[in-house]
Amino acid sequence: MVAAPSLLFMRFLDKLESRFGRFAIPGLVQIVAMLQLGVFFIFVMMPPEARPAYFDFLALDVDGLMRGEIWRLVTFIFIPGTMHTLLAVISAMFLRWLGRGLEEAWGPFRSTLYFVGGMASVAVGALLFGYTATGLLLFQSLLLAFAVIYPNEEILLFFILPVRIRWIAWLNVVLTVLAVLGAPDVFWPVLFSHLNFLVTFGPGFLQQRQHLARVAERRAKFSAAKDGPAFFHQCSTCGKTEVDDPSLDFRVNDAGDEVCSACRQAAS
């Protein structure tokens, strides 16, 4: 979990925030966590035979949407992922912690956009493929985003064992992949529940992989060079290396290409 949003994406978010930042909802994820806990206690107080009907009333069900039950576009995120009291409380606390961390890193607007965008993608997937959705996989996308931003943050597993959040995230990824392999029908719910994560971090991850591949290629050329002076940096614009002109300063641009100081100065 080392990817980061691309610079182009961050600039796009800056423009969105300058225009629509007033629509941010501070503490949105924390609010959802508390409402989810409230729904859990309503479940607990209900007779067991009444719980399935209440679940069906809240879930993101396509047939219900087609009947005009538009509240389902929101209420599906309030369905608890467990019916065990202790686990429900821990889940709500953990979700609050994730939301608070994302908001500290991104601010209210971007964390709101990430979460609401995830809700929208879940709704689109349910409408396209007709499955009934809850918010469980959407909350996993919050965990993955948190693990990218704070990979070394530690939590106490079972209140005893300190574990870095990135390993918790990787475990969730592995279990989700195994679930998809075991039941291919869940591929679309998984994909649409994580579109917000893929859109946010996917381009940056690809750019990072490309940059590392270029660095590895240059190192290989440097190590394998036998004839003539070896070089490590080469300008993608003019083709000059540090051997051609030792005074040149090479930097990597947003696209991952190396550009010398002379070409940067000429471009500016």
- Mean per-residue pLDDT for 202-231? 66
User: What pLDDT does residue 154 have?
Assistant: 85
Indicate whether 214 pLDDT > 90.
no
Ranges 37-51, 77-91, 120-134, 218-232: which has the least confidence: 218-232
Domains of the chain as residue ranges with CATH = 7-203 (1.20.1540), 206-267 (no CATH)
CB of 35 closer than 8 Å to CB of 78 = yes
Percent of the chain with pLDDT over 70: 85
More confident residue, 75 or 259: 75
- For residue 98, give every residue at least 6 positions away whose Cβ sits within 8 Å of its Cβ, in sequence order, or none: 29, 139, 142, 143, 146
Mean pLDDT, rounded, of the chain: 83
Q: Which range scores top for mean pLDDT: 98-102, 131-135, 255-259?
A: 98-102
Euclidean distance between CA atoms 189 and 31, whole angstroms: 24
pLDDT (tens digit, 9 = 90+) per residue, 153-193? 888 776 677 889 999 999 999 999 999 999 888 999 999 99
Query: What residue ranges in 7-47 does DSSP mark as E strands?
Result: none
Euclidean distance between CA atoms 23 and 112, whole angstroms: 9
